[in-house]
Amino acid sequence: MDTISLGRAGVKVSRLCLGTMNFGPETDETTSFAIMDRALELGINFFDTANVYGWKRGEGITEQIVGRWLAQGGGRREKIVLATKVYGLMGDGPNDRRLSAYHVVRACDDSLRRLKTDRIDLYQMHHVDRETPWEEIWQAMEILVAQGKVTYIGTSNFAGWQIAQAQETAAARHFLGLVSEQSLYNLTERAIELEVIPACRSYGLGLIPWSPLAGGMLAGGLETAKGGRRISEMTRKRTEKHRARLDPYEALCREIGHDPADVALAWLLRNPDVTAPIIGPRTMEQLEGSLRALEIKLPDEIVKRLDEIWPGPGGEAPEAYAW
């Protein structure tokens, strides 16, 4: 497994990031432990979670599963770059969400307790908070870094201008600021090519795409739907919506002899701005299958055909819509 710098930071992460969102709701603890152990064996050292995963308010079920896995020892904690997130609703009170200094500091301590560790390697803001000034957010993050509880800071689901605002404020405080952005990015969702990706490139942020397979739609969505295999209602609806594009996409994948899921991941990995797509396996088979994408080199003519099937926004702003 190759590694790459996380943006301009010195830390190295694997080219695939293990997403843990399914641990708990979809995948039992025993299987989750086995998947994490196998990920390490395969060279995946970048693990991503969030305090809201598990979807039972305030419980942090997925973080607890990851914490119990880490507590087994065997060098597990020292072998991974551990990322989690803050922002989501974690209680019934008015200060149990968002990015106020009050909530960020408490949420960090709660995540550390659930994860059974003394530090979070990458602490990510799960969403922009339009109600809290950047001076307050950065003051809280600086304290956590100074205390050794957090090493690096990242964002998720931010717009390009919000990344710029965050970084300029951090620079004025002589603080490193952000090292990564985690965005929705796949063949079907390419809006971040307009401004988010250029902002990441300009400020030296690593790009961590989430939902690289569009919720499974790009993993052979048509065949999955036809075969009656387990598929979420949301994915089923999206599959029907995009059927006219999925038909030629899956036909192209058959033509070049690769599974649709592998082609979708390989397309992301081909982009020099992408650090590590997040894979969210429910099973061991899905985990190991993801590694096939690392061996695929898509030629320019195939990428052009993919662009014809799944057109992006036309490039980067403003040239995408202006002279």
Query: If you search the block for the tokens 């397309």, which residue do you land on?
Result: 267
Q: Could you confirm whether 53 is annotated as catalytic?
A: yes
The SS3 call for residue 124 is: strand
For 266, which DSSP code? H
Question: What is the spatial distance between Cα 239 and Cα 218, in angstroms, rounded to a whole number?
Answer: 9
Residue 234 DSSP code: H
Q: Which amino acid is at 89?
A: L
Catalytic residue among 53, 123, 152, 203: 53
CB 177 within 8 A of CB 166: yes
Q: Do the bridges between strand 17-19 and strand 278-279 make them parallel or antiparallel, or are there none, so unpaired? A: parallel
Alpha-helix runs per DSSP H in the chain: 29-41, 61-70, 76-79, 101-115, 134-146, 160-172, 196-203, 221-227, 233-241, 243-256, 260-269, 284-290, 300-309
Distance (Å, whole) CA 212 – CA 218: 8
Active site residues: 53
